[in-house]
Structure 1
């Protein structure tokens, strides 16, 4: 990587789902669920939802996918789908 790239830490914001995304992924792995989150630069350039969450396996009967314009939107949708599928995500 080439360094800072204009990003700054968000220490003054209220904690949101984006702050616990890695903890959610780790917890899902402990439950036997394969999960990932990714950003697609081409979709972002086209002003399309660039963030994707995908999960399958473990207690999930079917694979699932959630897309959003921000990581917060994507993970909020994903958490809702996971809870509807019967996973009580503790975050």
Structure 2
């Protein structure tokens, strides 16, 4: 959720973020941030948001976890949260 209004950010399905997810994870590692993305088959089967992004360490003041129905949705939300935390992710 965004802090400003408490709503989910709008996801741009044409952003291509899923194509650069590994590059983003590598860049985060270079900044000292431990990060991962995963898919949970049980949550997918149950119709719940199956994709999870988690990150901690480095310049992040606290760890973070973001869920989404697709990898694109999950990463769009993660990028928003990372930027809110002060990381200028180059994407």
**TM, length-normalised to structure 2:** 0.84
The unaligned stretches of length 5 or more in structure 1 are 1-13
1:51 is aligned to 51
1:71 is aligned to 71
Runs of 4+ displaced beyond 4 Å: none
Computing the radius of gyration from Cα coordinates, the structure with the larger value is: 1
2:17 is aligned to 17
2:8 is aligned to none
2:30 is aligned to 30
2:6 is aligned to none
**1:49 and 1:15 mapped to 2: Cα distance?**
20
**1:90 and 1:31 mapped to 2: Cα distance?**
12
Cα deviation, 1:10-54, whole Å, max 9, x if unaligned, reads xxxx56100000000000000000000000000000000000000
The unaligned stretches of length 5 or more in structure 2 are 1-13
Count matched residues.
78
